[in-house]
Amino acid sequence: MEILAFGVQSDEKPLIEKAFEGHHDVRCLDVFLNEDTAPIAAGYEIICTSVNATLNHHVLQTLAEGGTRMIAQRSTGFNNIDLEVAERLGLTVARVSYYSPYSVAEFAWTLAMAVNRRIVRASNRTRDFDFRLDGLLGRDMRGRTVGVLGTGKIGAAFTRIAHGFGMNLLGWDVAENPECVELGMKYVDKDRLFAEADLISLHVPLLPSTEHIVDAAALRAMKDDAILVNSSRGGLVDTKALVAELREGRFTGVGLDVYEAEAGLFFLDKSLEIVDDDTLARLVTFPNVLVTSHQAYYTSDAVGQIVETTVDNVLDYLAGRRSENVLVPAESPSVTS
């Protein structure tokens, strides 16, 4: 059997091909799955997708009509998939429920420290042999307060690093993580966290209840010199409200690895095109804002785990097995070789 993988980055391709070696052939495409590219999947029982794939009703219908029966997504998030439609069409959908939490947690701290210590500005200056320190003043993290929204595996890893810095720990989640409590974290309501934290990092999934969890009111409640980091999902932050606050000269720094309208932009080269997203265009002009292209997970360790789990999901599907990674059940398939 040949499996079709969409949205494969050049660094990922050898890892995916090696992981499937000895099991099944895999055809890797660098194009993302959407309404225009869905017909390419005709004749493929199993396809593999990335988090930036569009899996709405139209795409899922096209896939089902073309013979696709299983979708293996190479990510933890699945808000890009219409699961109700997939189930109605009899499609099996699986994801990667776990990979290295350190990849995202460490990158979130990379963003926080980069905006705190003005690393990008300093690097750009020294390339021009400008070695002045004006405008590069940062702050010690020790003794300051960090607010962590979402204290699951990634949030806990982020918290352990904060504890190593010697910070005061505030947390918010639907349930307390005993590991974080043992480190000294105090769980508080969101209003108090936004008001007291010097650094806020987001590690919650994107759900109807968490969409724009950082809205205009939350932003106004934050300290003028606070740092905000989002390495989870773009929809957690009301970007237009954030731009409005930044225009008022607020916040020491903002580090964003995700953006709520990133589909069709992130993972692609748009350098020779006119990007008509006025909000993003304005956002990247602020000197205290650092935007990266959804790369927090992108380490050899994490991608390796993602690929290995994806292979396991495919093998489970063909063997009629279920695991915690299955989002939508389907009829047991006939094993094809």
**H or E segment at 172?**
strand 168-172
262 is catalytic: yes
294 is catalytic: yes
Which entry of 45, 245, 260, 262 is annotated as an active-site residue? 262
- Residues, the chain, total? 337
Which entry of 69, 95, 144, 294 is annotated as an active-site residue? 294
Which entry of 233, 245, 250, 260 is annotated as an active-site residue? 233
233 is catalytic: yes
Q: How far is CA 53 from CA 7, 104, 307, 313, in A?
A: 8, 20, 16, 18
Residue 274: count other Cβ atoms within 10 Å of its Cβ.
6
Residue 73 and residue 14: Cα distance in Å, rounded? Answer: 18
Angle at 153 between CA 150 and CA 154, to 5 degrees: 65
Q: Contact 118/136 with Cβ under 8 angstroms? A: yes
Residue 27 and residue 40: Cα distance in Å, rounded? Answer: 11
Q: Contact 52/32 with Cβ under 8 angstroms? A: yes
- Between strands 186-187 and 199-202, the pairing is unpaired
**Structure-block tokens of residue 194:** 């936004």
Q: How far is CA 154 from CA 144, 180, 191, 231, in A?
A: 21, 11, 22, 10
Give the N- to C-terminal CA distance of the chain in Å, as an integer: 5
Compute the chain's Rg from CA coordinates. 21
Closest CA to 200 of 275, 237, 146, 244: 146
Give the ranges where the chain is alpha helix by DSSP (H).
13-20, 57-65, 83-88, 101-116, 119-127, 153-165, 178-182, 190-196, 216-221, 239-247, 278-283, 300-319
Cite the active site residues: 233, 262, 294
